Structure 1
């Protein structure tokens, strides 16, 4: 066998051996284990939690894995509150809290991190992580709990500041930061822990600037009518959050918002035109509702006598009323008792409307539409009962209130009415899903009224009960839910 042949055979043997060992040593990636869902675990902390006679300005937390901080400045709640916010840093498995403020003697301090501490890999948070120490020889242990609801809707709101003040002046909520601070959870509940016995004022505040002072008109406030005299644990300290509205409102002249004429060197300037539109859905008018006319500019004068409304089958001109719909002077409502399934024609002659700049409608508009049929709607029959627990929140000093029911679609109140003898019935309900609210209408004006804190007399907002399960209205159906407060 010559040398070339031996080399060729040797190469084949080497290739075969490589293939064999490659197959035998085929690397299979390890199967994936279960995802880590456990939050970091505190291994030790110095000084220890629940330390008495605490006098340190630094606290060091050691965890069993690498950790990071998530929005800790906003989530940290220190009670009693401090003038200077502590500095918190995270490095590897260690979180360090540096206290920059002087601590009060004989005081229990709670540092609640919420869910701000998370592991690095899966970002699993430690829920409601807190550290408690006392600068005295004992630990304050009283608790106060309750719920905060949005007064107008009867629904909870999360991250609302709930505040206790040792200063009992009425105006303290606008002048000072609270002594104790808590935040509501998703269900509206709040909890104060490690409180000192004493007398307090209780408030809640929904704000954007997080200064914990009631200083802006758009902020929502809630307050307890009576002082909180804390000598034992207290529960069910519920609050209703509302936007306080001034009783005196200045009427301002609507702003003219005409766009300037477009300029182009090759075109003549386009003159603005006064135009009107209608809220007809597919050329159909809702029964029991007005026809809304919307202009593109604020209207100074409108001659309703020039407008013609005709029942199209008979060409009979019918009488209607027309009134301004809001303060913009752009929307007007044409009120008429529409006949089910009947066609209509609306004729708007040129010049029937004039805007605030003197511009008039330039040409005659003719609008044809049809009123919906009765079968396009559903009917609601509601029976209301009041439980003993609900009676506890009703005005005990005044039994002259009435119940008003509201059907709400999204954020819009679509239908409302007064409950009589525990019942309310309404036809011509547009198909859809509705939330049910019940207002305790103290002044019998048929609507919800907000509260007043800075004013005379001071008053709570009217109570609203909101029901979790919606009702579904279908065409030509009657729905008869039983509602229990």
Structure 2
């Protein structure tokens, strides 16, 4: 009898615990209904209210998903002081701060409120109220684009924000006064804005700080001052990265028999000047380190004028006195890499990269083989350096006659073929294979015009790996043409090279200079890819320039 009472008591406790425990129901149909808001305090669109606490009641048990990031509150408040809690079907928000007078506040919950069973988010959940006698109703809308998207543009965490004109903060220093999350198509809309003048920004907020990190996040800014006394539409942004840290020389020091100049970031261009540069002295430029080499030790310091310029246009000029002492430090080994695996038609273009400047090349052991017994010697007339004062990139151009039907051509360089300025030789032999394409296997041409922009342009034919298959610089024409194209699937990218320096220049926030425009071919079905087969010729593949950053001028 005692055992029976104990068993009965245990069963009652277990039953009570099961009834009290809140959990996801098992069995039955899947809950696909989103939570529905039953009531809120204050009621949405209330006037003359300054709540200290906000409550929202739903028709089912709910929870909050990352509310500090997912709930967008405009205009700007001290969000780190706000407390978010949930209990059963009620969300409570303690503001812990005084709200501004005569201001419309919007709490956009996006997908932060979800039901507790299947995590279905509440839809279109917003709470709007005013601390004054009217609801601000002005809106700002537009679209965000990426200049260099991945395989598919990712608009997750992309924000658009505006700051009152005269505000001492901006997108790089503090969260905006008003902001909006961009949708999956890149569209945005900021509503309930107070009448006034504003500056606008867009950025990918990967780390959730509600401001842009200029060293790691893509961002953009409008040069227009937005006068918001009525609804404004068609504001465009084009996101790209732009590190605005000014370039500078950090230090100089000897390294063995060489001399190093260390820069805080990799320059876009480097100039080293000395009367004997390219004869007695050479330099390399790798990852922010400029290393000057001398053929022989020098007892005296040697002057070099150095200019480094970054992609934003910041530059630094300095005179350094380099020392090239005798040194017992063992020189770095000479290494070489080739652009092996490239396909070609008629003109075989070999590129060899060295870690140090070359002093000499033994052409006796440098040749191209195309079968077990036949070779093409590489002559000095076939070779050139990309920069004669650096001599670390060697280009070899060989025209292969049509009479040679072989498919694979191999560049061979025996060990000790190359000697650098420190008298180090390549210790291993080099083999690099290249495949000759047949004329009948190539497409004839992809051609068209660029519309809505003016040259100069950089036009790039990109393969499926986003690698540049062909590139053209158009200085004074809007027409492009890629000939003898290997069959495949491609994209065409155009850079509006405004200053004609034959590279893309990013934005410069401190100088209020926008990035050079980048846009892509899109066909009539809004597809961004081109498929071309052998023997094909695709004409009239016209490219329409995308909208620049700012308000669209209709």
Shift of 1:433: 1.6
Instruction: Give the corresponding residue for 2:127.
Output: 131
Instruction: Give the corresponding residue for 1:416.
Output: 471
Instruction: Give the corresponding residue for 1:83.
Output: 78
Q: Measured at CA, do residues 76 and 364 of structure 1 come closer, stay the same or move farther in structure 2, by a change above 3 Å? A: closer
Say whether the 8 Å CA contact 1:417–1:446 is kept in structure 2. no
Shift of 1:302: 5.4
Structure 2 distance, partners of 1:356, 1:253, is 15
Structure 1 distance, partners of 2:542, 2:174, is 43
Shift of 1:199: 0.6
Instruction: Give the corresponding residue for 1:336.
Output: 398
Structure 2 residue 120 is the aligned partner of structure 1 residue 105: no
Instruction: Give the corresponding residue for 1:161.
Output: 159
Instruction: Give the corresponding residue for 1:464.
Output: 518
Q: Which has more strand, going by share of residues?
A: 2
State the TM-score, normalizing by the size of structure 1.
0.75
SS in 1 for 2:121: coil
Say whether the 8 Å CA contact 1:299–1:355 is kept in structure 2. yes
Aligned residue pairs: how many? 422
Select the residue among 43, 47, 60 that pairs with 1:48.
Answer: 43
Q: Deviations over 1:302-343 (max 9, x none)?
A: 534535234658644244224469xx9987543434445456
Structure 2 residue 57 is the aligned partner of structure 1 residue 62: yes
Q: Measured at CA, do residues 80 and 170 of structure 1 come closer, stay the same or move farther in structure 2, by a change above 3 Å? A: closer
Instruction: Give the corresponding residue for 1:4.
Output: none
State the TM-score, normalizing by the size of structure 2.
0.66
Instruction: Give the corresponding residue for 2:497.
Output: 441
Shift of 1:347: 3.6
Say whether the 8 Å CA contact 1:384–1:482 is kept in structure 2. yes
Q: Measured at CA, do residues 475 and 447 of structure 1 come closer, stay the same or move farther in structure 2, by a change above 3 Å? A: farther
Structure 2 distance, partners of 1:368, 1:465, is 35
Structure 1 distance, partners of 2:370, 2:194, is 77
Instruction: Give the corresponding residue for 1:349.
Output: 414
Shift of 1:128: 3.9
Q: Measured at CA, do residues 439 and 197 of structure 1 come closer, stay the same or move farther in structure 2, by a change above 3 Å? A: same
Select the residue among 88, 91, 97 that pairs with 1:92.
Answer: 88
Q: How does 1:355-394 map to 2 (within 5 A)?
A: 359-362=424-427, 364-365=429-430, 370-384=435-449, 386=451, 391=452
Instruction: Give the corresponding residue for 1:263.
Output: none
Shift of 1:160: 1.9
Say whether the 8 Å CA contact 2:455–2:478 is kept in structure 1. no
Q: How does 1:78-477 map to 2 (within 5 A)?
A: 78-85=73-80, 86-152=82-148, 157-158=154-155, 159-168=157-166, 172-214=170-212, 216-245=214-243, 248=247, 254=286, 276-281=336-341, 285-287=343-345, 290-293=349-352, 298-301=355-358, 303-306=360-363, 308-310=366-368, 312=370, 315-318=375-378, 319-323=381-385, 333-339=395-401, 341-342=405-406, 344-354=409-419, 359-362=424-427, 364-365=429-430, 370-384=435-449, 386=451, 391=452, 401-409=455-463, 410-417=465-472, 423-455=479-511, 458-466=512-520, 467=522, 468-477=527-536
Please, which runs of 5 or more residues in structure 1 have no aligned partner? 1-31, 257-271, 395-399
SS in 1 for 2:84: strand
Instruction: Give the corresponding residue for 1:73.
Output: 68
Greater C-alpha radius of gyration: 1
